[in-house]
Chains A and B, each alone.
Chain A
Amino acid sequence: MIDQLLSNNMAWASARVRADPQFFRRLSAQQAPEYLWIGCSDSRVPANEIVGLDPGELFVHRNIANLAPPRDMNFLAVLQFSIEVLKVRHIIVCGHYGCGGVRAALDKERRGLIDHWLQPVADLAHRHQTHLMAISDFETRVNVACEHNVRAQVEYVGRNPFVTDAWRRGQALSIHGWIYSIRDGLLRNLELSVDRPSQVDELAARQWFPDA
């Protein structure tokens, strides 16, 4: 089984070179992605593939439930490097419907360490529990929470000092919130894009539910 992956790799690299003989030479010379992708670790959401980008075009950070935790060294290192060294122009926070992490944060079952990682999602759900509990269908509730989680992460990224420093320097940088459906392979723009601090404030003031 595992050898198959190495064979697949050989076939992939060979096909790449056949299609574009300079591909790997060009790729190894420079990494200059315009985008930072903050997505979920879910194996069904392959970042490069769903946006049709080649290796080298998307800097990727993935974790369970596509979080942007302000005290996670891994995330912060990725964020700082992508902004200050790679100088990405767009940060995309991409969640997906049916996210197992969001579902776990909502169902209140104890799973161990993962519960601590998902605490921000559980907190978000708790803050909006009156509205979320009004959604009778659990899977729909999970999907609504998936969208809200993307929004919360866009706000966290928008308030992150690395981002606000970049804006203060006049660096062009936009943050976007998207959601993906594993059931159809399509992305939806959640219209959460911000490119300056005042827009983060406006986003924070926006209502979360239609009947709020």
Chain B
Amino acid sequence: MTITGMQSPIERVPLDLLREPLVWFFAEHYRHRDVCSRLLVMARTVVQEPDALEEIHDFLDYDLAVHVIDEEDDLFPLMRRRCEPDDHIEGVLGMLSGEHASDLQLASAVKSLVAKAMADGRGLAAYADAWAVIEPFCVSQKRHIAVENAVVLPIARLRLTASDLRGLGQRLAARRGLPDPFVQAS
């Protein structure tokens, strides 16, 4: 029986997906679900796994925040520019933006808990409020991602132009301090 199910590190998104930015978003969402699954297991575990906690902390501190910028300052504005009236996109994007703000607040609480566990050398289940802090974040994340995968990304696939996707991929890379993925490829 495994204690936490944390045999492997959180998978990184392959960098060549930057040339297919919508696939990058799907892959990034998969990572978010994975992190949530790990967190829910860790919330029931009193034994500390320092590497796993640090990885989760880094994800909440950096990856999640950058991903919100990927969407709020990049993908969503592009979609507003490209979508047709029949897409009724504004209602969906408005709801998701509101959720981004609340998700970051929930993530901040989870991050504080993880930091405390790291400092104390304890597992997350050692804290009475662990489940109450972690579960709402994970539930919200999973629901949010489901809407993005089912509604936003399919419409993006339909509406964004090749030039939009190239620019999006280039900015995803630049935002992470990576070189232009299209220059690398050629």
Is A137 positioned at the interface, with any CB of B under 8 Å from its CB? Answer: yes
A-B contact pairs, 10 of them (CB 8 A): A135-B90, A136-B97, A136-B98, A181-B69, A181-B74, A183-B73, A188-B77, A210-B89, A210-B90, A211-B85
Q: B residues near A, CB below 8 A?
A: 66, 69, 72-74, 76-77, 79-85, 87-91, 93-95, 97-98, 100-101, 167, 171, 174-175
The binding surface of chain A is classed by DSSP as loop
One of B66, B79, B97 near A137 (C-beta < 8 A):
B97
- Bound-complex Cα distance A43 to B52 (A): 39
Interface size in chain A (residues, C-beta < 8 A): 24
Q: Which residue of A lies closest to B83 (CB)?
A: A210
Q: Are B90 and A191 in contact (CB under 8 A)?
A: no
One of A135, A137, A181, A189 near B73 (C-beta < 8 A):
A181
Inter-chain pairs besides A137-B101, A143-B73, 16 sampled, C-beta below 8 Å:
A97-B73, A131-B90, A135-B94, A136-B95, A137-B97, A140-B72, A140-B97, A181-B73, A181-B74, A184-B73, A184-B175, A190-B81, A209-B80, A210-B89, A211-B90, A212-B85
CB distance from B19 to the nearest CB of A (A): 18
Q: A residues near B, CB below 8 A?
A: 97, 131, 134-137, 139-140, 143-144, 147, 179, 181, 183-184, 186, 188-191, 209-212
Q: Are B90 and A184 in contact (CB under 8 A)?
A: no
Q: Which residue of B lies closest to A141 (CB)?
A: B94
